Structures are given as structure tokens and as C-alpha cells.
Amino acid sequence: MGHKAGFVSIIGKPNAGKSTLMNALVGEKMSIITPKAQTTRHRILGIVNADNYQIVFSDTPGVIKPHYALQESMMHQVEGSIVDADLILLVTDIHEEYDENDVLKKLEGSLAPIAVLVNKIDQSDEGAVKKKIEFWQEKLNPKAVFAISALHDHNIKAVMDFVVDNLPEHAAYYEKDALTDRNDRFFASEMIRAQLLKQYKKEIPYSCEVVVTAFIEGEKLYRISAEIIVERESQKNIIIGEGGKMLKIVGTYARKDMEEFFQRKVFLETFVKVIPDWRDTKNYLKKFGYIN
């Protein structure tokens, strides 16, 4: 039996439970999440390595109509990661009103086997789940449909077995080694970004970029500095908030997430910097890894 490896694209609407699923699938087995994420067409979420296989789970940025250069490059990633996928997991939520046409449109270009994962079945009853499964079987004729609860780990092992069974024979795409410092920086920036999404109104987080400028690992303490980059003074003021209140909240929660993740005390400094129109400036997009 040779070595298997492949890209498994997890697609679906933003609230369908993709990240919970990812955590459940990768679990403790996650040996690396790579910052190469945004530099390729894949946003790589996690890589599971075993002796005889490597699964590269990748996410597609939410399906949106492109408004400017950044989003266009993200949409190319969606299409790219669907076209390049060896296997597609379509995550749909049991409450979804069958209106996933935007996602289905993207799937038309794909030849990869598809499994539909009907998630959050813990919030439903058997009849509804059955209806949903029948709908997807008819609509997509996928290779498999799984009723799962990512949150409660229900049926996750079956999904994992399906993935391994359907991986093509291929050498590993990425080194099978442990986390590197660069990955840790990537995690740190993602944790700050998550707080920006959580704490501010919609438009603000999308005009922000997070760059980790220093990451010093001490035995007991990690010292991390990060810049939040925005396009305008007015955005900077919103991010900082009255008397620095908002930025403090972001920093506090992000630091807690980091401490839990790195299992270390973290000293986090955040600065806000204005770079006019960075989203439409190709060299910044390049620097932030959105364009190869």
C-alpha cells in the first residue's frame, strides 16, 4: 500500500460550522497549520499526518461577490480550491433553507468526489434530518451524505474514514514536521483577527490586516507584538475606541486565546497603523500573502 495525500476542501456558508468540524476532524492529530495558507489558492486549515497518508484540509473564503482586488483574489481562491480539490466536503447546517445556490454554482466546475455533511443534527429531529439527506442526494448525487454533529463529535470518525479511503495515492505535499515559529505567528495573527471580527461592526474587520511584528519565545512567557493595519484615520479611531477601550478588549481576549493555545503566559502589544488603500495596493496584498 503506497502513500496517500490530497487536498480536501471544506466548503459551505460561514455559519455552517466549518471551524468546529475542522477542530473535530483534526483534533489532537493536527501536527501543523501552515501560514502558506493565503499564499496559495488554498487557505490551509490543518494538515493531518499519518505514516501512510497526509490530509491537507483547506477552507474556501466565504462565497461573496467581489468588490475590490482583495475579494477578487479571495474568490479566485474559492474557485481554485474547488478545482484543485481531491475531495470536497460540503458542510451544510440542518437549519439551512435549501438556498445554497451560490455554493452549488461554485461546485459545477468540480470533478472531485463530494460528501455532504449535514451538521448540527443535535438541534433537530430524525424526520427533518431524513428530509435533508434526501434533498442533498437528489440535488447533488454526492458520493456520500453524513448526518453529523461536529460539536458533539457525532459521526466524525465515519467522515474521517471516508476521507482517508478517498485520498489519491500521492507523496506528501508538506513536510511532516512539527509546528514552526512561522506557524505560531500565523496563529497569533488569526486570533487577533478573530477578535476584530467579533468586537466591531461588519465593515471594520474587512479593512484591517494583522501583521505580527515580533514573536519572542521565552521559557515561561511569549512576547508578541502585532500591528493592526487599516486604511483610514477614522478606522484607526474606531479600532482604538474611546481612551483605548476597544483595543484593550481586543488585546485582552486575543491574549487569553493565545495563552490557551500556546499553553504559555503571553505578553501582547498591539498597535494600529494607517496605510491608505492597502487593499487596492498590489504590493501590500503581496506582502500580506494574498497574491503570489
Amino acid 280: pLDDT:
64
Is residue 121 a contact partner of residue 97, using CB atoms and an 8 Å limit?
Answer: no
pLDDT at position 246 is: 93
Identify the top-confidence range among 46-60, 117-131, 188-202, 230-244.
Answer: 230-244
Domain segments of the chain as ranges: 4-165, 181-287
Question: What CATH number matches the domain at 181-287, 3.40.50.2300, 3.30.300.20, 3.90.1150.10, 3.10.310.30?
Answer: 3.30.300.20
Please state, for a pLDDT cut of 90, what percent of the chain lies above it: 20
Span 152-179, pLDDT tens digits: 878 888 999 999 999 999 888 777 764 3
Known binding residues are 12-19, 59-63, 119-122
* Cα dihedral 92, 94, 96, 101 in deg (nearest 10): 40
Distance CA 208, CA 244 (A): 17
When pLDDT is cut at 50, 70 and 90, the band that residue 286 belongs to is: low
Q: What is the mean pLDDT of the chain?
A: 76
Is 60 exceeded by the pLDDT of residue 233?
Answer: yes
For residue 138, the model assigns a pLDDT of 86
User: Binding site for GTP, residues?
Assistant: 12-19, 59-63, 119-122
Number of helices (H), then strands (E), belonging to the chain: the values are 10, 10
Q: Is the dihedral of CA 99, 103, 109, 115 positive or negative?
A: negative
Report the predicted TM-score, pTM, of the whole model to 2 decimal places: 0.56
pLDDT class for 120, splitting at 50, 70, 90?
Answer: confident
Give me the CATH code for the 4-165 domain, please.
3.40.50.300
User: Average pLDDT in the 172-189 region?
Assistant: 66
pLDDT digits (tens, 9 = 90+) for 259-279: 887 888 999 999 998 887 666
What are the distances in angstroms from CA 55 to CA 68, 120, 174, 243?
Answer: 32, 24, 10, 46
What's the rounded Cα separation, in Å, for the pair 239 and 79?
Answer: 32
Element (H, E) at 287: helix 282-287
Lowest-confidence pick of 9-13, 141-145, 195-199: 9-13
